[in-house]
Structure 1
Amino acid sequence: MKILGLTGSIGMGKSTVAGMFEEAGVPVFDADAAVHALQGPGGALVERIEAEFPGTTGAAGVDRGQLGQRVLGDKAALARLEAIVHPAVAEMRKAFLEQHKDAPLIVFDIPLLFEKGGAGGLDAVAVVSAPAEVQRARVLARPGMTPEKFAYILGLQMPDAEKRQRADHVIDTGVSHEETRVQVRQLIACLLDRKER
């Protein structure tokens, strides 16, 4: 089995690319989705997060807006939250690996792969990237997003140019979906050492 780490900064189209891997039959472990499940209604981490950050949960699980306000800009609070979340996500990833142990290729979709040192145990890393103006337009079109919030998030992420440099593969999403899909199919073929049909 080969394990590909998939990463990319906010607004680069990583979720779209992860979907293209799934369409091609490659199992994808989505770290963000795992976090949502752990923090959603009845999620395994809701009680622990409420104990650490009182008033941030309710019937719908963790109120991500409330929790975000508590930890954004507070490195110590963010570290406390990560100490709760990261081990639980690692357990889910282990279970996913076991479930798909016969797959020739799997993808770990990890937003902060380089920032949080998540490249261990991966055979290769692919970065999803688009021109800065495309990224900005995509992000600012999101509900509730402001230029200030976007700038803050970018400040937490490694610059795109550095990610591209550190990656084994770059998937360009500043082109049409079909052109991106072709890149994904070519990468799968390359990783599995077979000719693209």
Structure 2
Amino acid sequence: MGKSTASGIFRELGHPVWDADAAVHQLYAPGGAAVDPVAKAFPTALDAAGGIDRAALKAELAKDANALQRLEAIVHPLVWADRAGFIAAHADAPLVVLDIPLLYEGGAEAQMDGVAVVSAPAEIQRARVLARPGMTEAQFDFILSRQMPDAEKRTRADWIIPSLSLETARTAIMDICAEIMAKRSHA
């Protein structure tokens, strides 16, 4: 949809951004907090460098319908702790952005002061995702199957960031930031 681009714009504007995907990558890297528990649950996912091989882990998840639930039980608490640490480290910032895939699906919106949804028409979303290296139609369909429909996310969001172009996204983000800063100055 353009989530990474939107996060980059928030960063350019000087706002701290926590990225859930980046947090998971750190947790899976050699020495990461998720390596030992994930390797115990999925031994073939441990790579030679002492990290988690995401491709091998993905293969394990494909074999067992309950594997994803087991993995999430291991990783989600670690991700939540990382997010809490980031928020605490930026407690004085007027605006902290949390880039969280599957926010509504995981129920995390209740912990947010506000939610912005990055949105693009379905055909643009499909083209963007399928342009990623190694992405297949089947993988894209699996991703969509785990997500709440965009139309529903849009109705639940406090703000919508249209990502048809960089300029439309930037304008929407600047408006969101201005609105939040105005509310904070009146609080």
Match of 2:38 in 1: 49
Kindly state the Cα deviation for residue 73 of structure 1 after the two structures are TM-superposed: 7.2
1:137 paired with 2:127, answer yes
Match of 1:94 in 2: 84
1:23 paired with 2:9, answer no
Q: Which gives a bigger RCO, structure 1 or 2 (Cα 8 Å, sep 6+)?
A: 1
Mapped partners of 2:44, 2:63: distance in 1: 19
- 1:1-197 equivalences in 2 (<5 Å): 12-58=1-47, 59=49, 61-72=51-62, 74-174=64-164, 176-193=165-182
Identity of aligned residues (%): 54
Structure 2 regions of 5+ residues with no counterpart? none
- With normalisation by structure 1, the TM-score equals 0.88
Kindly state the Cα deviation for residue 144 of structure 1 after the two structures are TM-superposed: 1.0
Mapped partners of 1:90, 1:156: distance in 2: 20
Secondary structure at 2:182 match in 1? coil
Kindly state the Cα deviation for residue 72 of structure 1 after the two structures are TM-superposed: 4.0
Mapped partners of 2:137, 2:80: distance in 1: 33
Structure 1 regions of 5+ residues with no counterpart? 1-11
Secondary structure at 1:105 match in 2? coil
Q: Number of residue pairs matched? A: 182
The residue type paired with residue 84 of structure 1 is I
Secondary structure at 2:18 match in 1? strand
Mapped partners of 1:16, 1:57: distance in 2: 31
Match of 1:3 in 2: none
Kindly state the Cα deviation for residue 179 of structure 1 after the two structures are TM-superposed: 2.3
- With normalisation by structure 2, the TM-score equals 0.93
- Which has more helix, going by share of residues? 2
The residue type paired with residue 54 of structure 1 is P
